[in-house]
Amino acid sequence: MRKRKVNVAVVGVTGAVGQEMLQVLEKRRFPINQLLPLASKRSAGKRVRFKGKNLTIRELTRSSFNEIDFALFSAGGDISRKFAPLAVKAGAVVVDNSSAFRMDKNVPLIVPEINGADTQKHNGIIANPNCTTAITLMALYPLHKAFGVKRIFASTYQAVSGSGAQGIAELEAQVKALASGRKIKKAVYPHQIAFNALPHVDSFLKNGYTKEEMKLENEGRKIMHHTRFKASSTCVRIPVYRAHSVAVNAEFTKLVSVSKARRAIKNAPGIDLMDDVKNDLYPLALNMAEKDNCAVGRIRTDCAMKNGLSFWVVGDQILKGAALNAVQIAELIATEI
C-alpha cells in the first residue's frame, strides 16, 4: 500500500491536539521518515518526545515546509489561513484541524469512515471536522444509511479539553480553589465552569445559535452529502475533562426499529454499541476518554415523532474529534503517495 516513508510536520505541536497527534502517529505506526514539530516562536527550542526520542520544536515560518509531505495543522484558523497555502505550495498535503477551510467547496471535509473517498478530489488541503460533528455523525451516519435522516435535535455535554490544555487547567484550578475556599479565576470561560453548565461554546451568530451549534448542520450536510439535512443543536460545556457526550433526537424518512438501528451500529466501523440499560450500560465520557472508537447507547424509538430515534453518543473529542481523525485522513492519502 504505502510506497515510501514520509516527512510529517505537526503545526501547533504544543497544544492538546498537537500532543495527541504525536501519540496517534506513533501508536498507529504512521510510516514516518522525519517528524518536524512546529509551534510559535515562544515554544521554539523546547523538546517533544516522539518514538522514544526528544525532538526540538522549530518556529513555524514561511519556509517550514520544504521537503514536508504532510502538514497536520492544529493551531487555530488564523495560522491555518496564513500557512496552509504555503505548505501546499511547498508540496505538502495539509490536513487542517481548524474551521478555516471546512466549508470551502474546493476542500474536502472528511470523516474517513463516512466519506473517505472524498479525499480523492483534494487540492492540497483536506479539512478535519468540528469535534462534536465528527462524534455525532459517527453514530448518525450508519442510521442515515439504514433509514435516511431528515433532521436531528442535539444537545451536547462537552468536555473542557475541547478548549485545549487551558480548559483543563481552568477546571482543575477552580475545583482546587473552591475546595480551599479561595476565589475562583476565569480566563477561558466567561463564567465558572466547575460545578456548572454553560450553554455557550464558541461565539454567537445573528440567528441566536453559536458557531459551534451550526457546524453540526453545515458540516454534517457536506460530510454526509446530504444538502437538506437539518440540525438544531444546543452546545453546552460541562465540568468533564475529556470526551463529549451528545443527546440526539433524530427523524428519518423510513420506518425505524431499535433492533435494526442496533444492527446498523454494530456493522459500522469506528463506533461501538454500548446499550444494555438493564445492566446500567451506556457510554460515559469517563470511559470513552482516550478511546479511538465512539460509542452509542440509550437507543430508543422516539416517543414524540414518527420514524424517530433517540440516542446518546460519546466520543473522545481530542481523538476522533481531532487528532485521530486527522491522522486517519493522512493515512488515506499516504496510500496514494
Residues identified as active-site: 131, 244
Minimum distance from residue 274 beta carbon to a second copy (Å): 11
Per-residue contact flags (x/-) with a second copy for residues 117 to 156, judged by CB under 8 A: ----------------------------------xxx-x-
- 198 is a contact residue toward a second copy (CB under 8 A): yes
Residue 128, SS3 per DSSP = coil
Pick the closest to residue 311 from 265, 267, 270, 254 (CA basis): 265
Residue 22, SS3 per DSSP = helix
- 196 is a contact residue toward a second copy (CB under 8 A): yes
Minimum distance from residue 307 beta carbon to a second copy (Å): 13
- The angle that helices 211-224 and 131-147 make with each other, rounded to 10 degrees, is 40
Interaction with a second copy in 81-100: which residues (CB under 8 A)?
none
With respect to a second copy, which residue has the nearer C-beta, 88 or 281?
A: 281
**Residue 125 φ/ψ, nearest 5 degrees:** -115, 135
Interaction with a second copy in 300-329: which residues (CB under 8 A)?
300-305, 308, 310, 312
Q: Is the dihedral of CA 228, 229, 230, 235 positive or negative?
A: negative
**Count of beta carbons in the 10 Å neighbourhood of residue 206:** 5
C-alpha cell of residue 225: 452529502
- 190 is a contact residue toward a second copy (CB under 8 A): yes
Please state, in angstroms and rounded to a whole number, the distance separating the CA atoms of residues 300 and 250. 11
- 259 is a contact residue toward a second copy (CB under 8 A): no
Minimum distance from residue 100 beta carbon to a second copy (Å): 23
Minimum distance from residue 257 beta carbon to a second copy (Å): 12
Pick the closest to residue 298 from 261, 267, 255 (CA basis): 261
Which one of the spans 15-23, 55-63, 120-128, 297-305 is the region binding a second copy (CB under 8 A)? 297-305
- The angle that helices 16-27 and 324-334 make with each other, rounded to 10 degrees, is 50
- 265 is a contact residue toward a second copy (CB under 8 A): no
With respect to a second copy, which residue has the nearer C-beta, 116 or 148?
A: 148
Please state, in angstroms and rounded to a whole number, the distance separating the CA atoms of residues 25 and 37. 12
- 177 is a contact residue toward a second copy (CB under 8 A): no
Pick the closest to residue 12 from 131, 164, 123, 187 (CA basis): 164
With respect to a second copy, which residue has the nearer C-beta, 1 or 179?
A: 179
With respect to a second copy, which residue has the nearer C-beta, 214 or 318?
A: 214
Beta strands in the chain (DSSP E): 6-11, 32-39, 47-50, 53-56, 58-59, 70-73, 93-96, 125-127, 149-157, 230-234, 244-252, 271-273, 294-301, 308-315
Which one of the spans 46-54, 100-108, 237-245, 322-330 is the region binding a second copy (CB under 8 A)? 237-245
Please state, in angstroms and rounded to a whole number, the distance separating the CA atoms of residues 299 and 271. 14
Minimum distance from residue 302 beta carbon to a second copy (Å): 5
Residues facing 53 on adjacent strands = 50
Q: Choose, by CB under 8 A, the member of 214, 294, 295, 329 that binds a second copy.
A: 214
With respect to a second copy, which residue has the nearer C-beta, 113 or 275?
A: 275
C-alpha cell of residue 122: 483534494
Minimum distance from residue 29 beta carbon to a second copy (Å): 32
- 232 is a contact residue toward a second copy (CB under 8 A): yes
Q: Which residues contact a second copy by CB under 8 A?
A: 151-153, 155, 157, 175-176, 179, 190-192, 195-200, 204, 207-209, 214, 217, 230-232, 234, 236, 238-241, 245, 247, 249, 258, 277-278, 280, 282, 284-286, 297-305, 308, 310, 312
